Amino acid sequence: MRYLTKAMILVSMTLSAAIFGFFYAWVCSTMWGLDAADPRVAIQAMQAMNASVRNFVFAPAFFGTPVALALTAFLLMREDNRRSAMAFGLAGGVYFALGLLLTMRINVPMNEALAMVSVPDDAASARAIWQDYLLGTLAVLEPDTDDHVRCRVSAGGFRRDAAGAETGLRCG
């Protein structure tokens, strides 16, 4: 197996693990913690987190994961390692559709709308704003469902990466 292919397997797995870890922590601590806080604090904290996540440390994991997975799939296919190529390609396609695009289509507009909100002084008004934000993640489903989808997709992608890496590294 060529060095570039092995390096891309490692890069793909690292980025997949990083984005899974981000969404996992978001689901099981961040949103629950914010929901337990005073809604005025939760709104301000969410506004600050949404503004700070747009940075050069987060970007490679969020935007680079599907690119790395696709490149890894291409390299593996070129080496006639179809099984591993399919695993990485599937992981990249699923993350792109249900991780990246889901975020861009649902969460980014919601976050931009929340950024424009002035936090009210009274807790009842803030609670209404916060609940609308939580319920808006996917209006037809339970609150925070899109975060769960992104977490599951990221975990599944990492498992597919691991399967692809195991057969890819064995064949090289």
Q: What is the pLDDT of residue 29?
A: 82
Angle at 39 between CA 36 and CA 40, to 5 degrees: 140
Q: What is the pLDDT of residue 140?
A: 34
Counting the structural domains of the chain, the total is 1
Instruction: Report the alpha-carbon distance of residue 150 to residue 22 in Å, rounded.
Output: 10
Under the banding of pLDDT at 50, 70 and 90, the label for residue 167 is: low
Residues 6+ apart with CB under 8 A from 134: 31, 35, 143, 144
Range of the domain at 158: 3-171
Q: What distance, in Å, lies between the first and last C-alpha atoms of the chain?
A: 4
